[in-house]
Structure 1
């Protein structure tokens, strides 16, 4: 089947130093489970890292670092179902690392969700084999994966050996800087051979989750089935081997079906039984693949985001990014209670934790699969008790959400950080990023605004929003000298500035992003209460003990919060302008890649907190989250009138002082520049689109897992930033600043129960609502509002 190039990610030739990055980018998953695109049969090392991860399956291990107890919770690497290998006679199993590589190509078909590896290897004795391996992780059945290997004998006769296995002796060792810490999460390994199938059941050491990984393998020689496998076990893993007498041109084909179940699954008795039943009832590889491809085709209809191919591979990058988004969170995630992992299910960076940057993911999901956003936000609501406990332990009411979240909602951020450049362990105060609660509340309100789901607001969202507002209202202190309220001792999204260079103690004061978004939150908390039915509002006020004095204080804070400025720009935080300027040309010349200036400076004996250097300019996050009219209105109410000129100066000021050490930086800068420097905004869009696929092969971190928020954020730049798409007050609005270089955008959306298609160009916007039941929706563009009923279409022409 021919596939258009904008659906294909292809790598040609074998590059051992780049293989782990390619493995991450060629991961196949379905939102429940994902498997890295490693060579089938490889083991963890410098060149390869096989990994399979189940959403939400975490485990804790404890170490001692410098006589300090350090506990880390990690997403667990599961038993490896991939091994499917070949050997000539009694030789070693052939790999690209122990053979002469004559041909090697790796390809990911994102339309069908299939990874294909083609290779031709020459063994040490000169004999060659040619192989094609294909694999998928089923989007039709979340517990099933499939794999085939077709091996052709090239110019020799003798014995060809085929090996298959499920390896249970697995550790978490995919991130080099974690390798000195405990990594063995699986215990009670129980290999089993049942009805010719290979299964390994394991239990996580602390969380006590049971997981079973099983495989069913069928082989044929020149079309004839070969059932004569021999099997064995070594106590941790289980193996099968087949020996075939072959001559030149013979083809041996192996089909492998994997079943994966865990004890957190719904609707099962226990994992081993569920996996055995799945293997016994699963159809052949071809039928499984057909159902999988159909499921992907249906997802792609929902997530249609077709960009005219006129801008440096933008369409291919956009599809790849959406593909990895849907492999990390999909409709199969709805029952998983797992949140949005910052690095997807693609590796072990950040230990699989959930961060604030989920707010970059939800806009893409909510406009296409709102039921998925709803389920993922429930992850946060279920952990509201943990957030309340964290607030109480700090002496505050309300809810304080953790910077890094895992299984139960406690703070999972490491308190010590290893700088791989210097080898030093340093204190890590990034857990003081209290703004994560603002992101949680923001995402819940935006979901309600887009969907009109007042039931969610009533049952879950309003409670979270109010509790986060209570926390921030008490975090704010009255400053009599200013006659304003201030927020001290926090860390903003920038992350580099966790303290002042001349002041003991962690945190900085009056981070502009935190203060302004807190003001936004106080207004939204009041609106959320007012939007509830009267009976539910009374219940919630009673249950939370919410007093009218608190609501009055929220209103006061929307008028009296302090926001720092200097030199005609918004200050990132109070005192930012007093920090030293960095010699940017020297550092760029000396180091080239300066994205991790914090590590570079620490290795030199300096502290990044002493400089006007930003990992990502968090002031500009305000432009990403708040429509200009809302930002201007909030600041006007505070007594800080803004202007387009001030915003422009602020963007330029931080652009000159940002090293873009965060993959999100390009998204945020593109958003900030779109209104007044579209060409530069497009350059940042390009960076965002290729943030992982274009990552430096040998120095980037994509090998440890993709950057999910940056991938989703690139799609959000296209769907919302350049189209000016907003959803508020029951109106779907477009305010296009669409670059002509991008041609025409066609995207499918779901809004208020309707599916609609929007086509956007630099000259017009057309919205078509699918036929069906439902009420008319209000759509506004270029200052004109139309009520569109199901089956209606309307075109707005750009003025002038």
Structure 2
């Protein structure tokens, strides 16, 4: 056994080595209860005690003392001065309260002593005997005293405690400072060191610190909490792990953990989020990770299945008004599969006693597995094992392997499998006042192991056909039970009985085929589905083909990060869900890129400008899918022209929310969940969505060199968008400058100027400069087209020389506002708005992401304040280089400063509430560009874990945020790899973050696939080209010969 793969093991003190948690918890409680009683007496309000479960674990456990005081006080709405660490107890300051807690703890420590964990001491001795350096890192300022009392001082070669932290200015957990310092003192590499912690803040510090193994000790039955905050492995006690296990982790297990997410308990409150994150799919359809046995229970479990591009519109009566809303249809549920023992109840995990639970999503294979041991009211114990997948090889097939093993009983087990077409759209709470029944039953039936179901949407008249077949094994033997098929309108159930014996497994294999009539050449989806089920092979055959196809996908998209396993896991989670939302199967479909993936009903499955954050990934990896997304827009060009015409314009006005028809699907009313009131919604004025389409089109063309698309479809689409924006621009008779009004920028908090009688803004900087860039690119496209095609296109669109002249004039005379300080004014009049009292709102509300809703609930308007939901003006610097923005501004006759980006970032970032998941991603990128690496990294980490931790107000349960998921992948390409694909050849300027050793990926650019291995000072490059390819690396131009890896220093 080699010990060289472990440099050091760093232990937390309390909860890991010693059990002083009861003393700490009691001293915190004594101090805070005294304070809270005093406050209750002063304010004549009820006293609410400090508790271990709700307060100690959530706000103070593992944190430095004063940080813990501040954290808890803020949770109760108290805002005390910090004070001074020398203050004596008795004063009302954070330091005084913290010092009182310390005084109480020391008294208890003297009187009662402290318990140690024998299993921890045993592991420590094993590690020492193996020559592995050991350290102690704790927030406690009493660590030395505790170690002396327990006689453990000599076990650790270094100690970084609260006193050391104060002397050195180290940040407390969840910052990794104290762990980094302990490793530094031992000469240990972070990625070869182990952190052992029991607190959420501690494992999060380990996560942030890029350590080789973060081991959580779940003393509080908090295994899932520790994993959620970054623990790689979790045990209830250190007797469950040994040195060999740690060595194996570094040798093998650590790599495999980067391919999956796992949960070890059933938590009904978080089940909705986990169902989203554990979805399976293939780009044609996607099914949430709900358990097979549980029906929809709205706020807990929601087994939705969604087919790309399948919409239906209904009318609803809201507040006396009739409104029409198009929904992303919740398609028939193919999952239901459960059992009962004897005449007992049908098994439902939400109502059962669960003795053991484990659920795992494997990104590499697309397999969702679950193992449970349950106990019924008669003390019968059963092991349930479920394996589910949707085929990546055949877009219409899915399957479940469901195993039941009696552990202590024998008797009759009855199994029930269903296809359920009675489902409705109730997955988003705020939509539940709207009409939600979209499916009408057509036919249901079956015979023997076969069943089928057909439904039709009641407005769009799209038919959905499902067929299923069952195969049953008892032990190793294939059996043919007596199948009974029961039907009610819209639902079919297949029921059978098996005589069960203890420890003999009953295995049910359920294979399902799903078709819809909005697919090409699918007029009769039920016939197609039934044919598939008759012809398809076994579940194992289907699975093997799917796994093989997933391997091909991962060979193309995988982004390997050596030196940061937590980031690696999140990156692969995001890659996986990106492929569930759009894949090569999409190339055969008429579908766009829904902002929330195919994972739920949020945003009604509509397509927004979020495509901008997603499209380049598919341009670089699956250009056929990217082209399909652009063809979705092209096929709705006529609808966009009609929308422009109805507004009095030429060209194409694409909708902010697009669905089946390409018409505007944005609600005219929107529910404010804070106030409970419905208000007008002007977000349809975000006309910049058309500019995003033009931007996506150009990027696709440039990256793929798809001349056929540009000539036959793309140029017409692009120029139609230019026609519309040319019409929007009005020339001032005196200044000769053009103004664009009546539009909104990306910041949805601002819909109009205060006091204005009309919705929309004037001269939004983002929209105007994007329009200038679009007109510039239009002339490049016209120069690219063959002469005959160019003339034909211009004639068909009615674009004459005067119109082209106006476009050219707009590119030099469009209005923007640039202050003397070099700040681009977000829109005309923005600088006159009121400043927001950010500190007031941060202390008043626990979550200020949606400041618009908060202000409206107070009778105020976000239109009156300098507050943004997300990047607006700054979004320009995400789309283009700083030099490009400076050139556009100069083209308009203004003089931008050299540090244009830095000035604008410093101005707008403090005025942004990050009400969109996309916001932190954009600001992180911009912080990287100005070399504010700490801010960039912090914001990127927030983006990377936003859906996994569900930080955006519990919205992940309604669907993933596809833009931020795919955007985090492109972020690494653009920042740490320094990749730029906007020129004639690829450019690289790598800058790996601290701790990262190498990133490996490949992509396709202009018909050539490039393979990269980027290290700290060297790059390995290879292409699949038949000839040499040029690539820019920093300041040097390098020619890569075909076939072989080339190593280049930088």
The TM-score bracket by the shorter chain reads over 0.9
Please give the residue correspondences for 1:303-314 in structure 2 after superposition, counting only pairs within 5 Å.
Answer: 303-310=557-564, 313-314=566-567
Distance in 2, matches of 1:668 and 1:95, equals 43
- Displacement after TM superposition at 1:334 (Å): 0.8
Query: Is contact 1:33-1:345 (8 Å) kept?
Result: yes
Match of 1:40 in 2: 292
- In the alignment of these two chains, the number of paired residues is 794
TM-score (structure 2 length as normaliser): 0.74
* 2:552 aligned to which of 280, 295, 298: 298
Measured against aligned partners, the alpha-carbon deviations of 1:87-109 in whole angstroms (never above 9, x if no partner) come to 12112211122111211222100
- Displacement after TM superposition at 1:407 (Å): 0.6
* 2:887 aligned to which of 611, 633, 639: 633
Please say which of residues 312-321 and 131-140 is displaced more in the overlay: 312-321
Please give the residue correspondences for 1:323-402 in structure 2 after superposition, counting only pairs within 5 Å.
Answer: 323-402=576-655
Please say which of residues 44-53 and 600-609 is displaced more in the overlay: 600-609
Query: Is contact 2:455-2:490 (8 Å) kept?
Result: no
Match of 2:776 in 1: 523
CA change 1:696–1:674 in 2 (3 A) is: closer
Please say which of residues 578-587 and 736-745 is displaced more in the overlay: 736-745
Match of 1:611 in 2: 865
Q: CA RMSD in A?
A: 1.7
Tell me the secondary structure at the aligned position of residue 965 of structure 2.
Answer: helix
Determine if the alignment matches structure 1 residue 678 to structure 2 residue 933. Answer: yes
Determine if the alignment matches structure 1 residue 20 to structure 2 residue 275. Answer: no
Match of 1:405 in 2: 658
* 1:322 aligned to which of 575, 591, 597: 575
Distance in 2, matches of 1:230 and 1:431, equals 52
Match of 2:149 in 1: none
- Displacement after TM superposition at 1:64 (Å): 2.1
Match of 2:350 in 1: 97
Query: Is contact 1:132-1:150 (8 Å) kept?
Result: yes
Measured against aligned partners, the alpha-carbon deviations of 1:88-136 in whole angstroms (never above 9, x if no partner) come to 2112211122111211222100011011111122112222211110100
Query: Is contact 2:562-2:998 (8 Å) kept?
Result: yes
Measured against aligned partners, the alpha-carbon deviations of 1:202-254 in whole angstroms (never above 9, x if no partner) come to 01111101111221111122222332222211122000112222232221111
Tell me the secondary structure at the aligned position of residue 367 of structure 1.
Answer: helix
Determine if the alignment matches structure 1 residue 200 to structure 2 residue 200. Answer: no
Query: Is contact 1:688-1:713 (8 Å) kept?
Result: no
Match of 2:476 in 1: 223
Match of 1:286 in 2: 540
Please say which of residues 222-231 and 336-345 is displaced more in the overlay: 222-231
Distance in 2, matches of 1:460 and 1:716, equals 26
Match of 1:165 in 2: 418
Measured against aligned partners, the alpha-carbon deviations of 1:634-674 in whole angstroms (never above 9, x if no partner) come to 11111223334232021121110111110111221111111
Determine if the alignment matches structure 1 residue 178 to structure 2 residue 431. Answer: yes
* 1:510 aligned to which of 754, 763, 768: 763
Match of 2:157 in 1: none
Tell me the secondary structure at the aligned position of residue 577 of structure 2.
Answer: helix
Measured against aligned partners, the alpha-carbon deviations of 1:439-463 in whole angstroms (never above 9, x if no partner) come to 0011111111111112211111111
Match of 2:716 in 1: 463
Distance in 1, matches of 2:791 and 2:447, equals 58
Please give the residue correspondences for 1:662-701 in structure 2 after superposition, counting only pairs within 5 Å.
Answer: 662-676=916-930, 677-696=932-951, 699-701=953-955
* 2:749 aligned to which of 496, 499, 509: 496
CA change 1:741–1:558 in 2 (3 A) is: farther
Measured against aligned partners, the alpha-carbon deviations of 1:475-508 in whole angstroms (never above 9, x if no partner) come to 0112345442111111111111111222222111
Tell me the secondary structure at the aligned position of residue 981 of structure 2.
Answer: strand
Measured against aligned partners, the alpha-carbon deviations of 1:537-566 in whole angstroms (never above 9, x if no partner) come to 111111112111111111111111111234
Match of 1:785 in 2: 1037
Determine if the alignment matches structure 1 residue 763 to structure 2 residue 1013. Answer: no
Determine if the alignment matches structure 1 residue 754 to structure 2 residue 990. Answer: no
Please say which of residues 427-436 and 590-599 is displaced more in the overlay: 590-599
Distance in 2, matches of 1:481 and 1:331, equals 54
Distance in 1, matches of 2:460 and 2:284, equals 18
Tell me the secondary structure at the aligned position of residue 329 of structure 2.
Answer: strand
Query: Is contact 2:293-2:347 (8 Å) kept?
Result: no
Tell me the secondary structure at the aligned position of residue 38 of structure 1.
Answer: coil
CA change 1:115–1:644 in 2 (3 A) is: farther
Tell me the secondary structure at the aligned position of residue 886 of structure 2.
Answer: helix
Query: Is contact 1:79-1:166 (8 Å) kept?
Result: yes
- Displacement after TM superposition at 1:270 (Å): 1.4
Tell me the secondary structure at the aligned position of residue 77 of structure 1.
Answer: coil
Query: Is contact 2:445-2:485 (8 Å) kept?
Result: no
- Displacement after TM superposition at 1:789 (Å): 4.3
- Displacement after TM superposition at 1:338 (Å): 0.9
Distance in 1, matches of 2:411 and 2:670, equals 54
Match of 2:812 in 1: 559
Q: Which has the higher contact order (CA 8 A, sep 6+)?
A: 1
CA change 1:670–1:238 in 2 (3 A) is: same
Distance in 2, matches of 1:729 and 1:185, equals 48
Query: Is contact 1:94-1:121 (8 Å) kept?
Result: no
Measured against aligned partners, the alpha-carbon deviations of 1:137-167 in whole angstroms (never above 9, x if no partner) come to 0000000001011111121222222110001
Match of 2:360 in 1: 107
- Displacement after TM superposition at 1:792 (Å): 5.3
Distance in 2, matches of 1:510 and 1:537, equals 32
Query: Is contact 2:447-2:485 (8 Å) kept?
Result: no
Tell me the secondary structure at the aligned position of residue 926 of structure 2.
Answer: helix
* 2:514 aligned to which of 248, 260, 285: 260
Please say which of residues 524-533 and 643-652 is displaced more in the overlay: 643-652
Distance in 2, matches of 1:629 and 1:291, equals 48
Tell me the secondary structure at the aligned position of residue 758 of structure 1.
Answer: strand
Please give the residue correspondences for 1:537-616 in structure 2 after superposition, counting only pairs within 5 Å.
Answer: 537-566=790-819, 567-616=821-870
Query: Is contact 2:702-2:1006 (8 Å) kept?
Result: no
Distance in 2, matches of 1:15 and 1:528, equals 55
Match of 2:897 in 1: 643
- Displacement after TM superposition at 1:290 (Å): 0.8
Distance in 2, matches of 1:469 and 1:737, equals 38
Determine if the alignment matches structure 1 residue 453 to structure 2 residue 714. Answer: no
- Displacement after TM superposition at 1:404 (Å): 0.5
Match of 1:745 in 2: 999
* 1:710 aligned to which of 964, 984, 995: 964
Query: Is contact 1:398-1:470 (8 Å) kept?
Result: yes
Please say which of residues 46-55 and 2-11 is displaced more in the overlay: 2-11
Please give the residue correspondences for 1:68-79 in structure 2 after superposition, counting only pairs within 5 Å.
Answer: 68-79=321-332
Greater per-residue helix proportion: 2
Distance in 1, matches of 2:992 and 2:711, equals 37
Distance in 2, matches of 1:761 and 1:506, equals 52
Tell me the secondary structure at the aligned position of residue 610 of structure 2.
Answer: helix
- Displacement after TM superposition at 1:196 (Å): 3.1
Query: Is contact 1:739-1:762 (8 Å) kept?
Result: no
- Displacement after TM superposition at 1:522 (Å): 0.6
Tell me the secondary structure at the aligned position of residue 356 of structure 2.
Answer: strand
Q: Which runs of 5+ in 1 are unaligned?
A: none
Determine if the alignment matches structure 1 residue 8 to structure 2 residue 260. Answer: yes
